[in-house]
Structure 1
């Protein structure tokens, strides 16, 4: 067992990790998979896939267990356009730990069971085409230190630990950096609905909206670059 985290079950049967030092879970205890599908795919990715005529670019802040990436890869298998997926992680988790997490039955069957491992074992810093319609690039280190391309991403999954657990990730500087990296008309989605978060987004140019959250959470946040 990794010394800094513990395996935990969530209400929908899928697993998450608990970090005792932060008293924080990687996902909602009400259901890891259903949270990811609701917050990141349904509210963030799906509107762009429906309207897209060319590749959709996604930036994920917080690769974590790889769940958001896996679900996005799953969606790419039936999408009409390819998905380019960049993900940033300061503290990568070993596959030996993540493989012990329970997940949704459909994610345990081929080919997704193999893709789940490939996501974790893919090299860092270089694009890796896992399928003809899904290219992964894992970036290690602090988001704030990365030089992201301007106007590169239609969708940003903001999945950092909560503001009171990881305050350095919820600053005007970070959201200004992400605003610059978002394509015109692009969006940022997050499970968080705190007022301080939405104020920081608006201070850096984003237009925010509160929309229904996943099970166990009344609201979540979606922000747009106009």
Structure 2
């Protein structure tokens, strides 16, 4: 399947798949989208909620590790705010070293040390990226996730339901619900009705919040 590196509206890169007419990140701005959806409405929201005890470890699961942009931004934020983040990134099909070299996130965020450290971590092994950020990258299908009561925050960044509807089902969101601790938060760029209904059906309390540039809404789900 052909894949191309493209420049998005905020100057940051993403990977475009012509056959699907789908991207790893928003064409309106890869970094803007990640910061808005996952950092602001996911991590920051959790840190102001009753589920977070100050100075405790924050356990994060990313569904769709992809380019590693969300992990990169989270590692930077963890250092800036002195958070203790334990991050698990799940990806079925890791991108190539050549694609990683063509991405411009290090230049855009002026930090090549953390970005390189994230991608030098071996898959399936625990890795210390910085004093505030540990990482484990797991190569497997999302349907294979069997963790229970483990994560505080889930970044649900799978390819959209138009191209991979099987990733937006009740079964998938049930496994997300079970993997999450009470008061945990799941965020996704998607705001489609069937995704919201699937989340609600498995027990999440779901709200629409303002979306990133180019999208009216996104979804945030909480396990009460």
Per the shorter chain, which TM-score range? over 0.9
State how far apart, in whole Å, the 2-side matches of 1:92 and 1:141 are.
10
- CA offsets, 1:75-118, max 9 Å, x none? 011223310000100000122212212337552x3xx2122122
- Report the counterpart of residue 24 of structure 1 in structure 2: 22
- Report the counterpart of residue 219 of structure 1 in structure 2: 217
TM-score normalised by L of structure 2? 0.94
Unaligned runs of 5+ in 2: none
- CA offsets, 1:145-170, max 9 Å, x none? 2322x111110000001101111111
2:185 counterpart of 1:183: no
Shift of residue 134 of structure 1? Answer: 0.4
Shift of residue 218 of structure 1? Answer: 0.6
- Report the counterpart of residue 129 of structure 1 in structure 2: 128
Shift of residue 20 of structure 1? Answer: 1.8
Q: Any conservation in 1 of the 2:155–2:187 contact (CA below 8 Å)? A: yes
Q: Any conservation in 1 of the 2:106–2:115 contact (CA below 8 Å)? A: no
- Report the counterpart of residue 65 of structure 2 in structure 1: 63
State how far apart, in whole Å, the 2-side matches of 1:194 and 1:121 are.
35
State how far apart, in whole Å, the 2-side matches of 1:181 and 1:118 are.
27
SS of match in other structure, 2:19: coil
TM-score normalised by L of structure 1? 0.93
- Report the counterpart of residue 201 of structure 1 in structure 2: 199
2:208 counterpart of 1:210: yes
Shift of residue 73 of structure 1? Answer: 0.4
Which of 74, 86, 96 is 2:88 aligned to? 86
- Report the counterpart of residue 7 of structure 1 in structure 2: 5
> How many residues matched?
220
Q: Structure 1 pair 43/178, CA: closer, same or farther in 2 (3 Å)?
A: same
Q: Any conservation in 2 of the 1:13–1:104 contact (CA below 8 Å)? A: no
